């Protein structure tokens, strides 16, 4: 049975954040809140945990995973970012965006898009997600918690507990969240391309 932590959505308790990070560092799969619904994630280098996530979400080998980052310095470690892309990211993070960028060698190959060698990166604004990332000290391998047959990320932690209580190591209850997806922006070329319009305003990228 998974652990179930009630963490304050605005003022996350450091003790519970520390215990959550311990679960991640031991190879655990964790469900946690973001600014676009609940996500499921694991330690960046943990291949077994990633396999479990793929099984839960019924993902194939072509799924684009996201690195959830705490700040811009992490983004520049894991992706090639030119000056114009850096300014765009800086002006719109943290927030409801996922940026597609060319991956550096720091990104495990299994997380990259096979053909394009790209990776999705996010800097969330959710206080719980940011507190987790700060204590982990590196990005989390992450994907939205969209269960098979559904179109949107899960928003109700009690329902997540009912559905996944025996399949993940920790569920963080950080409140009941909206289900609006992030806006996805491809910054691999000179001109930004809006891949998916979500809750993030697309105006800065037009």
pLDDT digits (tens, 9 = 90+) for 144-168: 898 888 888 888 999 999 999 889 9
Domain count, the chain: 1
pLDDT confidence of residue 165: 86
Q: Going by C-beta distance under 8 Å and a sequence separation of 6 or more, which residues neighbour residue 199?
A: 35, 36, 96, 178, 180, 181, 182, 183
The yes-or-no verdict on residue 61 having pLDDT over 80 is no
Residue 156 belongs to a domain with what CATH number? 3.90.870.10
What pTM was computed for the model?
0.91
Q: Regarding beta strands 97-103 and 183-186, do their DSSP bridges make them parallel or antiparallel, or are they unpaired?
A: parallel
Q: Which residues of 11-35 are buried (b: 16+ CB within 10 A; e: fewer)?
A: ebeeebbeebbebbeeebbbbbbbb
pLDDT tens-digit readout, 5-40: 999 999 999 999 999 999 999 999 999 999 888 999
pLDDT confidence of residue 53: 93
Residues 50, 45, 67, 33: what is their CA dihedral angle, to the nearest 10 degrees? 60
**Secondary structure (DSSP) of 24-70:** HHTT--EEEEEBTEEEEEEETT-HHHHHHHHHHHT--TT---EEE-S
Quote the domain boundaries for residue 14. Answer: 3-205
Higher pLDDT, 134 or 109: 134
pLDDT tens-digit readout, 62-105: 677 889 999 888 888 899 999 999 999 999 999 889 999 999 98
Measured in degrees and rounded to the nearest 5, phi and psi for residue 20 equal -65, -40
Tokens 């719109």 — which residue? 92
């Amino acid at each position: 049975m998974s652990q179930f932590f009630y963490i304050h959505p605005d003022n996350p308790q450091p003790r519970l954040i520390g215990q959550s990070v311990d679960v991640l560092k031991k190879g655990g799969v964790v469900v946690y809140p973001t600014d676009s619904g609940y996500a499921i994630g694991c330690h960046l280098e943990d291949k077994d945990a990633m396999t479990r996530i793929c099984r839960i979400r019924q993902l194939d080998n072509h799924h684009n995973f996201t690195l959830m980052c705490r700040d811009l310095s992490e983004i520049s470690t894991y992706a090639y970012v030119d000056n114009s892309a850096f300014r765009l990211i800086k002006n719109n993070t943290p927030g409801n965006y996922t940026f597609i960028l060319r991956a550096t060698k720091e990104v495990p190959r299994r997380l990259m898009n096979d053909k394009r060698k790209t990776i999705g990166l996010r800097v969330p604004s959710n206080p719980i997600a940011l507190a987790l990332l700060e204590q982990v000290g590196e990005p989390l391998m992450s994907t939205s918690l969209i269960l098979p047959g559904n179109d949107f990320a899960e928003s109700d932690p009690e329902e997540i507990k009912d559905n996944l209580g025996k399949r993940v190591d920790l569920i963080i209850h950080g409140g009941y969240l909206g289900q609006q997806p992030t806006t996805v922006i491809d910054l691999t070329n000179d001109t930004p391309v809006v891949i998916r319009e979500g809750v993030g305003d697309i105006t800065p990228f037009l």
